[in-house]
A and B are shown apart, each in its own frame.
Chain A
Amino acid sequence: MINLQELNVYYGKSQALHDISISVRSGEIVALIGANGAGKTTVLKAISGLIPWSDGEITLNDQSLRGKKAERIAKMGIAHVPERGGIFGKMTVLENLEIGTVAGSQRKDLEQRFDKVFKLFPRLKERRSQLSSQLSGGERQMLAIGRAMMSDPQLYLLDEPTLGMSPLMVRHLANIVEEVRNQGGTILLVEQNARMALKISQRAYVLEIGRVTRQGASEELLQDEKIIKAYLGL
C-alpha cells in the first residue's frame, strides 16, 4: 500500500525528519506514536503533499508521490484527516460531507454515501443541516472521518483524532476507527494517546525527534517497559 523509504524533510535549514522508513499494508491499522514535536504530523503532511520533500521516496501502490500536489494525492486515494478535523465551519454538515466526494472517482451514489456515514455516525444525521461550527469537538471529529469516508479512499491518515476528548469519547472513536478498518479501510493513525493507538493497531512505529526509534507489533510494544514508562504513563 504505502511505503516511506529513508524520507528526510526540512523546514528551511532545520531537519524535521531523518531517514524515516514506514510501511502500511492494505487492511492494516498502523500507529505512529511519539511525544509532541517528534514529527508525527510532519510524516502525514509529507505523505499528503502539504509539505515538500526531496530526499527519500514515498510510494502508494508502487507509484511515486514525488512532486505531486496535495489535491492530486487526495484524488489518488489518500484521505488526510488533519488535527482537530479541519472541518469547514461555515458549511453545513451535509455540505462538508459532499465536499468529501470531490476526491472520489464518482459522485453518482451520493445518497448511499451519506447513508453509509450516517449509519456509522447517527448523530451527524440529526445535525445534517446545522453549521459545522456548531458541533462539539467529538462531533467535528466524527464529521472529519465521515467526510474522509465519502471519497472511499485507499488509505486514511488520521492525525490525533482523540485530541482533547473525554475517555468515553476516546473509546467511542477507537471503535469507529476499528469499524472503518472492518469496512475495508487502511489506516495510518497518529496519536498521543499511545495506549489507545497500540490497542487498536496491528503494528506501530515510535518516533523521537524526527527518527523512528522503535517499531514492531503493537501487542509487543504494549508490553515493552521503555514504551510503558515513556508513553503509557505507568
Chain B
Amino acid sequence: MAEFLQYTTNGLIAGSSYGLLALAMTLIYGILSVPNFALGGIYALGAFVAFYVVQWMGPGYYLFSIVPAVLIGMIIAIVTERLVFRPLYDAPHAAGFIAALGLYSILEGSWAILFDPTWRKIASPYNDIVLQLGPICLTMQRLIILVFCLLFALATYYLVYRTLTGKKIRAASENKSVAQLMGISPFTTTTMTFIVGCVLVMIAGVLDAPAALVGASMGLTPITKAFIVVALGGLGSVPGAIMGGLILGLGENYGAAYISSMYKDLFSYGLFIVVLLILPNGLYRR
C-alpha cells in the first residue's frame, strides 16, 4: 500500500506538469486548430531563465525566476503570434502545423547557440529538502511542482470559465465569425490566448528545471507528451487537458513501477492509442 501511494504521488507530480503544458497547448489549439509544438522550445527557455537566475542571483532566488519567465513568456507570445502564426490564419491548417515545427527547430537551435548546447543541472535549494509525509517520500522541489502546477491550472481554469476575457477566448475558439459579430476581435483574443499559453509553458519550464537536466532540446519529449494529453482529454478541452495530464502521469508511473520502467514511454503511447480507440474524441468532447 505504501508503495502504491508513493507511485500515485509520483504519477500526480508528473501528471500535473504534463497537465500544465497540455493546458497551454489545448488553449492555443482551440483558437488555431493547430498543435503548437514550438511551445517545446519556449518550455526550454523557461528552464534556462531559472538556470540563469539561480546562477546569477543564487539558489535562494529560484522561485523568483517565475517573474522574469512570465514577462519573457508574454513577449515571446506576442512576437511569435504576430510574426509566425498571424500571416497564416487564412492558410490551411497544415501550414500552421509546419510553421510550428519550424519555429520549434529555430528556437532549439537558437538556445543551443545562445546558451551553449551542453546539459546542465540547476542547484535549487528545494532539491535537498526531503519530506516524509506518512509512507510517502518526496523532495520539496517535487512538492513545489505539484502545488504550483495545480495552482496555475486552477487559475487558468478560472480565467477561461469565469472571466469575460476567457469567455471571449472560448467564443472565438468555437466560431470566429460569430465572435466578430459580437464585437470580439479575433486578433486580440488570439494574442491573449498565446500569452496565456506561453506564460504557462514558461512556468512549467521553471518548475521542471531542477528535476531535470536543462538543455536546448529538453522541451521536445514533454511537449510531445502534452500533445498526447491534449488528444486524450479531447482537443481544445481545458478540463480534459488537466485530467488527461493526471491520467498519463499516473499510467506511466504505475506501468513503470508494476511492469517495467524500461517501457515507460510505451505506456504513454499505448494508453493514448487505447483511449482513442474507445473514445475517438477524447475524454471530454470539446
A: residues with CB less than 8 A from B are 48-50, 69-71, 74-75, 79-80, 82, 86, 88-91, 95, 98-100, 102-104, 107, 147, 151
Contacts and interface: CB of A to CB of B under 8 A. Distances in A.
B178 A82 contact: yes
- A interface, over-half SS: loop
Contacts of B170: 88, 90-91, 95
Given A90-B170, A95-B167, A98-B167, A50 B177 contact: yes
Contact of A70 (B174, B175, B181, B286): B181
B182 A99 contact: yes
B174 A88 contact: yes
Nearest to B161: A95
Contacts of A107: 164
A120 to B, nearest CB: 19
Contact of A103 (B164, B167, B174, B183): B183
Contact of A74 (B168, B182, B286): B182
A170 B145 CA distance: 57
A17 B175 CA distance: 26
- B interface, over-half SS: helix
Interface centre among B170, B180, B182, B185 (most CB of A within 10 A): B182
Contacts of A80: 181
Interface in B131-184: 164, 167-168, 170-171, 174-175, 177-184
B108 to A, nearest CB: 35
Smallest CB-CB A-B distances: 9 pairs: A103-B183, A70-B180, A86-B178, A74-B183, A102-B183, A80-B181, A75-B183, A71-B180, A71-B185
Contacts of B286: 90
B181 A99 contact: no
B181 A102 contact: no
Contact of A91 (B167, B177, B181, B184): B167
Contacts of A147: 182
B180 A91 contact: no
9 contacts: A49-B180, A70-B177, A88-B170, A90-B286, A91-B171, A104-B183, A107-B164, A147-B182, A151-B183
A176 B181 CA distance: 21
Contacts of B184: 71, 99, 102
Contacts of A89: 174
B158 to A, nearest CB: 14
A28 to B, nearest CB: 21
A226 to B, nearest CB: 34
Interface centre among A49, A70, A80, A100 (most CB of B within 10 A): A70
Nearest to B285: A90
Given A88-B171, A91-B167, A99-B167, A69 B182 contact: no
